[in-house]
């Protein structure tokens, strides 16, 4: 375990103990951003020989972060420009679904889902949600690196399709002695899950690319600022794949954790008011060549709404631009609801090394689903 605090939260420890007792779980690595998750903690990496645990991947299969640099030193000369961009983001990047269905990219059609009902849902929900952000901790952010260059970052995943795929396969899964669900990788059901997970991973990447395309068009058409396509980086943090560790082959599950193979580039996100980092992996075997994906929550959403005032959140955000009209409904995403990202980065010095520090300049996100009717 690489913990930023002296010990795990009691509920998170219960989850971890259950995972460690589950069949075929041979190795667990706990990241510095670990926090309580449904069934399996976020910030957890597990290795199995032949069993696949969908709950150790999570419902938002393929969720991740993408970043790209702009060919410009500065983006915002005034608050007016920042407010205009936020209005454009509301118009061009919906929270939950597009106004009209979109054609799914050919790459997804080539992969194909394993079941006719999933195919139909992909053609319906998947087509309506491609290019949508989602709510909660998913964000669009404009940033600046140490040299003054401007960047754009997006955090989102496979939207409803990841949940649909996960629920479909959990219904077919066996139940372990600890209550967690699993599929044998060699069974038809296990092979079908792996096939559908790859589809969802690709969907999530294409979803991020669709949003990047919208933002790139906004910036080029209205500010004559282009993106540097060579700088594009996409980093997934909810997936399972076959990897070699300790001289053996394993199924490595990462839930809210990134791969950190030697020299591999990755992204570790801060909070709304704190820096994010592009990193290189150190390839530490004991950590299953992994690292944290972000800061990690220290307050639940309910606790954050109860304890963090709007004024306090304004102070925490400092000079970062945001939509003031909906700040009250985003208090559960306040920087104070998350760990100190600098402490997280110090804790995982043997897991990754920092390459680029990205300081937030404008953050855009939607509140939870119950409050999306408040958004224009």
What positions carry a catalytic annotation?
293
Rounded to 10°, the helix 79-92/188-223 angle is 140
Q: How far apart are the C-alpha atoms of 74 and 148, rounded to whole Å? A: 7
Q: Which strand (E) or helix (H) includes residue 88?
A: helix 79-92
308 close to 331: Cβ distance less than 8 angstroms? yes
Count the Cβ atoms, other than its own, within 10 Å of residue 105: 15
Edge to edge, the sheet with strand 139-144 lists 227-236, 64-70, 150-156, 139-144, 352-364, 276-281, 265-268
58 close to 46: Cβ distance less than 8 angstroms? no
Q: How far apart are the C-alpha atoms of 275 and 292, rounded to whole Å? A: 14
Residue positions counted in the chain: 376
365 close to 93: Cβ distance less than 8 angstroms? no
3-state secondary structure (DSSP) of residue 156: strand
């Amino acid at each position: 375990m690489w913990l930023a605090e002296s010990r795990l939260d009691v509920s998170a420890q219960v989850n971890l103990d259950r995972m460690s007792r589950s069949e075929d779980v041979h190795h667990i690595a706990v990241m510095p951003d670990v926090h309580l998750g449904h069934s399996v903690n976020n910030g957890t990496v597990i290795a199995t020989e032949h069993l696949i645990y969908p709950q150790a991947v999570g419902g938002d299969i393929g969720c991740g972060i993408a970043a790209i640099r702009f060919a410009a030193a500065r983006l915002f000369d005034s608050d007016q420009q920042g407010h205009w961009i936020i209005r454009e983001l509301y118009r061009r990047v919906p929270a939950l679904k597009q106004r009209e269905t979109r054609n799914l990219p050919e790459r997804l059609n080539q992969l194909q889902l394993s079941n006719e009902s999933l195919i139909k849902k992909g053609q319906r929900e998947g087509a309506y949600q491609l290019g949508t952000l989602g709510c909660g901790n998913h964000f669009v952010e404009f940033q600046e690196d140490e040299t003054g260059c401007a960047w754009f970052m997006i955090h989102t995943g496979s939207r409803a399709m990841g949940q649909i795929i996960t629920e479909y396969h959990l219904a077919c899964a066996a139940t372990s002695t600890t209550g967690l669900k699993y599929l044998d990788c060699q069974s038809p059901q296990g092979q079908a899950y792996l096939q559908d997970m790859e589809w969802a991973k690709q969907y999530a990447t294409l979803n991020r690319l669709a949003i990047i395309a919208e933002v790139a068009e906004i910036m080029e058409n209205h500010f004559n600022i282009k993106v540097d396509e060579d700088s594009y980086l996409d980093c997934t943090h909810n997936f399972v794949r076959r990897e070699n560790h300790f001289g053996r082959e394993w199924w490595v599950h990462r839930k809210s954790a990134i791969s950190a193979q030697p020299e591999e580039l990755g992204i570790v996100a801060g909070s709304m008011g704190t820096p994010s980092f592009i990193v290189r992996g150190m390839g530490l075997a004991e950590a299953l060549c992994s690292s944290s994906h972000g800061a990690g929550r220290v307050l639940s959403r309910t606790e954050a709404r109860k304890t963090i005032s709007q004024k306090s959140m304004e102070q925490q955000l400092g000079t970062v631009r945001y939509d003031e009209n909906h700040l009250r409904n985003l208090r559960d995403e306040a920087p104070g609801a998350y760990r100190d990202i600098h402490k997280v980065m110090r804790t995982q010095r043997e897991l990754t090394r920092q390459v680029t520090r990205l300081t937030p300049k404008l953050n855009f996100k939607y509140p939870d689903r119950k409050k999306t009717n408040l958004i224009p």
